Amino acid sequence: MKNILIFLIAILFINTSLFAQSPYVDYALKFSTNDYSGTARFTAMSGAFGALGGDFSSVSINPAGLGVFRNTELMFSPALTYNKSSAAYLNTVTEDNKYRMGINNIGLVSAYDLEDSDTRWVNVNFAVGYNKKNNFNQNILFAGNNDQSIMEYFVANAQDAGSVNNLEGMYELLLYNTY
């Protein structure tokens, strides 16, 4: 009975700590998912060539897709990204826009035909390349004029309170008690 009670208390504390992480689930999801980009063909089909192969970008999802190549190919896919952010601080909204050139994909697939040799293999393919999976590059700007220090803010709140009994316990009352 004692072991069951300890086990139930442990589960209670584990659940409490798991709930404490809930505000950061969005960040975990953002940084753990892949946004595959690559050739225009691959991007236009939303990555469906991962199952089919025959496109260099599919190598990131399904390396066996290299077996479909019958010719040597060199590919290069430039990218244009647009980032826009908006932030508000002290009733001042600041926006930032940025265009950036980049490389989504660059690679070489070398195909060797083996039909004339004494082996049962039809061909052999080798690939070397780069596929961009995610882009976390973003600028966030904020600006504003703060015409009051934190101490002036606390003094104004203390004066509005009227008496010591009405002071906020975590801010103005702590300052009052330290003279």
According to DSSP, the residues that pair with 98 across neighbouring strands are: 83
Residue 156: its pLDDT value, please?
Answer: 83
Residues 163, 132 within the same domain: no
Residues 21, 108 within the same domain: no
Residues 75, 153 within the same domain: no
In contact, 55 and 131? CB cutoff 8 Å: no
Residue 30: its pLDDT value, please?
Answer: 66
Residues 135, 93 within the same domain: yes
Residues 86, 102 within the same domain: yes
Residues 27, 45 within the same domain: no
The yes-or-no verdict on residue 17 having pLDDT over 80 is no
Residues 77, 128 within the same domain: yes
Residues 48, 26 within the same domain: no
Residue 20: its pLDDT value, please?
Answer: 47
- Using pLDDT thresholds of 50, 70 and 90, give the confidence band for residue 110: very high
For tokens 């060797």, the residue is: 112
Residue 18: its pLDDT value, please?
Answer: 47
Give the whole-angstrom CA distance, residue 93 versus residue 83.
17
According to DSSP, the residues that pair with 73 across neighbouring strands are: 109
Residues 77, 19 within the same domain: no
Residue 13: its pLDDT value, please?
Answer: 67
The yes-or-no verdict on residue 172 having pLDDT over 60 is yes
On average, the pLDDT of the chain sits at 79
| Residue 160: partners with Cβ closer than 8 Å, 6 or more residues away | none
Element (H, E) at 117: none
Residues 60, 7 within the same domain: no
Q: How many distinct structural domains can be found in the chain?
A: 3
Residue 26: its pLDDT value, please?
Answer: 64
Residue 88: its pLDDT value, please?
Answer: 85
Element (H, E) at 151: helix 150-161
The yes-or-no verdict on residue 168 having pLDDT over 60 is yes
| Residue 68: partners with Cβ closer than 8 Å, 6 or more residues away | 52, 53, 54
Residues 139, 156 within the same domain: no
Range(s) of the domain holding residue 159:
148-179
Residues 101, 135 within the same domain: yes
State pLDDT tens for residues 120-163.
Answer: 888 888 999 888 877 777 777 778 787 778 888 888 888 888 78
- Is pTM beyond 0.95? Reply is no
State pLDDT tens for residues 52-95.
Answer: 777 888 887 888 888 888 889 998 988 888 888 888 887 888 88
